[in-house]
Amino acid sequence: MNWTIAENLPTDNGCQDKFEHILTQYMESLSNKQSPAQAIKQIAHTAYDFVLNLNKGFAKGKEGPAIQLIRTLIKVLSVNKNFADEINDFRRNMLRFVGIGEFSDLAEWKDNCDTYILNEVICKACNHCRDLDLCKDKHRAMKDGVPIWICSQCYVSYDNEEIENKMIDIALRKIMTYNLQDLKCVRCKEIKRENLSLYCPCSGQFESLIQASDIESMLKTFLNVAENHKMNLLQEISGNTLLRNIILNELEVFCSS
């Protein structure tokens, strides 16, 4: 089974494999005509053993592979709202093993998978046009050991090199737009007119229209995609730009101290 949500789990001690093992056992129980409530009880012992194993070396009540596994499992199981009581009991008991209360912020699911939507990707086989979610799209396969995206209509693979070139073009355009953007006053919202002035005539400070954090988030997502899909040029551009930003930020902090 291909669980995209499992890709956010750490690989420490086979955390992703443990997640898939538990869900496979759950699906097998359902296929054997057991109710979801019975299936949850069936996987409980396996899940507890895995959680205890993953939590070795981690202090109770702290973030670690075990709590990430618990959150992800509960997120998937909670799709069926008809058995909320059984799922809540399962969740409460699992959290107790890692020393976390059921109302703790650590127990709450957060989608940490940043993604990017590539607009108007056209299949060369059937000309179907669609928006492609680079990180969460379910129409994927493997080719020569490299993940690829496939058309949702005819299931022919897209050209990874073509997608990489589109992403490089987007990255370079976004970076150029950020560098050439206008500044606006945080107080009166007027656009900065004089290049050398530090403050607006109203004494307000200037801020950028496009936040550096937005560009950084996009580049981190592109770097992640590039590493997973063997896109060497995109990986180099994204990685070098992020590294340069880190160095500039450190210099800025050093100069201001």
Mean pLDDT of 117-145: 92
Q: What is the pLDDT of residues 101-129, one digit of tens each?
A: 888 888 887 766 678 999 999 999 999 99
Q: What is the pLDDT of residues 7-29, one digit of tens each?
A: 677 766 788 888 889 999 999 98
- pLDDT value for 113: 63
Using the predicted structure, report yes or no on whether residue 80 has a pLDDT greater than 50.
yes
- pLDDT value for 171: 93
Using the predicted structure, report yes or no on whether residue 197 has a pLDDT greater than 50.
yes
What is the per-residue burial (b if ≥16 Cβ within 10 Å, else e) of 120-134?
ebebeeeeeebebeb
CA-nearest of 216, 212, 181, 185 to 200 is 185
- pLDDT value for 254: 47
Name the pLDDT band for 150 (thresholds 50, 70, 90). Answer: very high
Mean pLDDT of 93-103: 86
Name the pLDDT band for 228 (thresholds 50, 70, 90). Answer: confident
* CA 202 to mean position of chain CA atoms: 41
Whether the Cβ atoms of residue 222 and residue 171 lie closer than 8 Å to each other: yes
Using the predicted structure, report yes or no on whether residue 149 has a pLDDT greater than 90.
yes
Phi, psi values for residue 81, rounded to 5°: -80, -10
- pLDDT value for 58: 76
Q: What is the pLDDT of residues 210-222, one digit of tens each?
A: 888 888 889 989 9
- pLDDT value for 251: 47
What average pLDDT is seen over the chain? 85
Residue 209, classified by CB atoms within 10 Å of its CB into exposed (0-12), middle (13-18) or buried (19+), is exposed
- pLDDT value for 219: 92
* Domain annotation for the chain: domains and CATH numbers: 4-107 (no CATH), 117-256 (1.10.3200)
Name the pLDDT band for 255 (thresholds 50, 70, 90). Answer: very low
Helix, strand, or coil here: 236? helix
Name the pLDDT band for 79 (thresholds 50, 70, 90). Answer: confident
pTM: 0.63
Beta strand 129-133 with 140-143: parallel, antiparallel or unpaired?
unpaired
- pLDDT value for 51: 87
Higher pLDDT, 58 or 213: 213
